[in-house]
Structure 1
Amino acid sequence: MKQSISILILCFLTFFDAMGQEKSVCCDAPAPVASGMIPQLTVKNLAQTVDFYSRVLGFEVLQSVRQSDELSYVLLKSGSVLLAFQLESYLKDKYPQLKAWKAGKGSALIIETSAINRFYERIKGRAEVISNLTVTFFGAQEFVITDPEGYVLIFRSAENPAGDK
C-alpha cells in the first residue's frame, strides 16, 4: 500500500527542464493547477473559535458539521476569505498518527482587508494584539493578533496604505 501511495504522489511532482518547460516526474499527464486554497485549522474549542471569528472579526458561518451531537467542523467566510476549522479531537481520532501533533503553533495567516484603520480600532480591545498597526517596509499597513487557539493572524491593508484614512 505504501509503495502505491508513493508512486501516486510522484506523478504529481513536477520540475522545470533547462528550457524552462514544466515536466512531470513520472508521467505525461499535465501537472495539476491550484484553483484556490482554504486553510483548515485544527482547534480544541470550536465553539469559542467560531464565536471569536464571527463576533470579533466579522466572519459568517457558511457550513457547520456535527458528529455525535458535537460541532466538529465549520467553514467561515469574510469577503473572499474562507477559513475552515476542525475539532482537534475528531482529527486525532480519525488519523491516529497525529495523536502527538500540536495544533496552532508555528502558523500564521495573512488576511488582506480594506479599511484597516477602522478594522484595527474595532478589534484592538477585543483580541490579543501582538503588534499594533504599523507600516511595513514595503508600504502596507498591518497589525498582528492571536486567536483564542494561538494562531497568529496578520491583517494587512489590501489597498494603498495612504488611501485608508
Structure 2
Amino acid sequence: MELIAPIPALTTPSMKETVDFYVSVLEFTCNAHDDQWRFASIHKDDVTLELVHPQAPLPYHSELFTEPVFTGAICIHTEQVDEFWEKVKDKAEVCFPVQDFDYGMREFGIYDNNGYLLQFCRPIGA
C-alpha cells in the first residue's frame, strides 16, 4: 500500500471568507464548491485543502460545533520560505516570524482567518 499525500479538511462556518483568504493572501485557487457554499476544494501547486461547513453532511461533524478546534499545525513545505514570508507577513496574523530552528527547519507560522495555524517550512541548507 502506498500513501500519496494527505488532504486536510478544515471546518469553517464562513466559507466564502475562508476561500477569499486562501485565494487573496496565499494565492490558492478554488477548484470547486457546491451551490450552498458548504464545501470547497482549493489548491496551490501540489497542496490541496478541503473546506467544509460545520453543518455539511459529514460523519465527523458535531452538532455542538462552535468554532474550529485543531491543536496542531498544517505544515506546508516550500523552497521559497523567505520569499513567501515577504508576501504574506503583512496580510495575515503572524504566529512566529521566519527563522531557523534547532531541528533543522527554516519556517514561519501564520493563522488563517479561522485561527488554523499554517507553517511554511524548508530544511535548512535546502
Q: How many residues align?
A: 125
Which protein shows a greater Rg? 1
State, as a whole percentage, how many aligned pairs show the same letter. 26
Q: Which has the higher helix share?
A: 1
Return the TM-score normalized by structure 2.
Answer: 0.87
Alpha-carbon RMSD across the aligned residues, in angstroms, is: 2.1
Equivalent residue number for residue 116 of structure 1: 81
Relative to structure 1, the CA distance from residue 96 to residue 82 in structure 2 (aligned partners, 3 Å threshold; closer, same or farther) is closer
Listed as ranges, the gaps of 5+ residues in structure 1 are 1-31
Find out whether 1:36 has 2:5 as its counterpart: yes
Deviations along 1:132-157, one digit per CA (max 9) or x if unpaired, are: 10101122210011111111111112
Runs of 4+ that moved beyond 6 A: none
Listed as ranges, the gaps of 5+ residues in structure 2 are none
Equivalent residue number for residue 74 of structure 1: 40
Find out whether 1:161 has 2:109 as its counterpart: no
Deviations along 1:64-99, one digit per CA (max 9) or x if unpaired, are: 112xxx2111111111111000111224xx559711
Equivalent residue number for residue 85 of structure 1: 51
Q: Match of 2:51, as an amino acid?
A: F
Write out aligned runs for 1:1-165 (5 A): 33-66=2-35, 70-91=36-57, 95=59, 98-101=62-65, 102-157=67-122, 160-162=123-125
CA contact (8 A) 2:34 2:40 kept: yes
Q: Match of 2:45, as an amino acid?
A: G
